[in-house]
Structure formats: C-alpha cells, structure tokens
Amino acid sequence: VQLVESGGGLVQAGGSLRLSCAASYFPSPDYVIAWFRQAPGKEREGLSCIRKSDGLTHYADSAKGRFTISSDNAKNTVYLQMNSLKPEDTARYYCAVLLFFGGGIQDIAPILSRHTAEFDSWGQGTQVTVSS
C-alpha cells in the first residue's frame, strides 16, 4: 500500500492547513491511519489516528483541540485539519497505516507510540512550516 501525503506548506502563526494522506488501496476495512510529525533534532511525535471500521479517533495531548482527523473512505484518503498553528508545529508530517488492526478500543491510543517498523507503510511526508 502506497501512502502519499500532501497539503503542507508555509503558513503564518494562527493559520490553518489541511493535510491529506491518500492511499492506493486498502486490502481490508480493518485498518488504522495515524499521523506523526518530526522536527529536526527531535523525536517523532504521534498526533492522531483513526480506525476505518468505526471511525474511532484518538488524539495526543499536543493535538487535542486544534487538530481534527477525518476520512473520506470513497477516496481512500485521511485528512488532518490543523488550526491555530504555532511555530512549534513546524515539522515534517507523516502518515502511516496498520492494515489489519484487530485490537479493541483500549488498543487505539497506544498506536501512536508504536515503533516505526510496526506500521505496514509510511508516506514520504509533507513539510509544514509555521512562521511567527
């Protein structure tokens, strides 16, 4: 499965961006898409994830209240709407997929802490730069 992110760019503080994560296809409906970001010199940070089967979402504390994850199943695309952007949101943003997720509700949140290799596919990332 190939993932392609888009929608990044340069925006002033307080502005908004909507990132897209488009997939070539999904072999099953039991997948989870997660959004991450990584700034230079910093560790990867999990932001949010969504389970396709029931639309269940989870947000990291840093994303709550400003970021919204959603999906357009007809387009095999997951979005990350980011509002009230701050300079500290500057990073490269990635999406990743778990193709066959059989966990329960209690297993959704820990997805954002999974190792990179546990995901079935990653996109190439899209750069977000927020100017002050």
Residue 27 has pLDDT above 90, yes or no: no
**Span 103-126, average pLDDT:** 93
Q: Are 128 and 92 in contact (CB under 8 A)?
A: yes
Which regions of the chain does DSSP assign to beta strands (E)?
A: 3-6, 9-12, 17-23, 32-38, 45-51, 57-59, 67-72, 77-82, 91-98, 121-122, 126-131
Q: Which residues is 66 bridged to in the sheet?
A: none
More confident residue, 35 or 107: 35
| Of 108, 98, 81, nearest in space to 3 by CA | 98
Which residue type is seen at 103? G
The 10s digit of each residue's pLDDT in 52-75 is 888 999 999 999 999 999 999 888
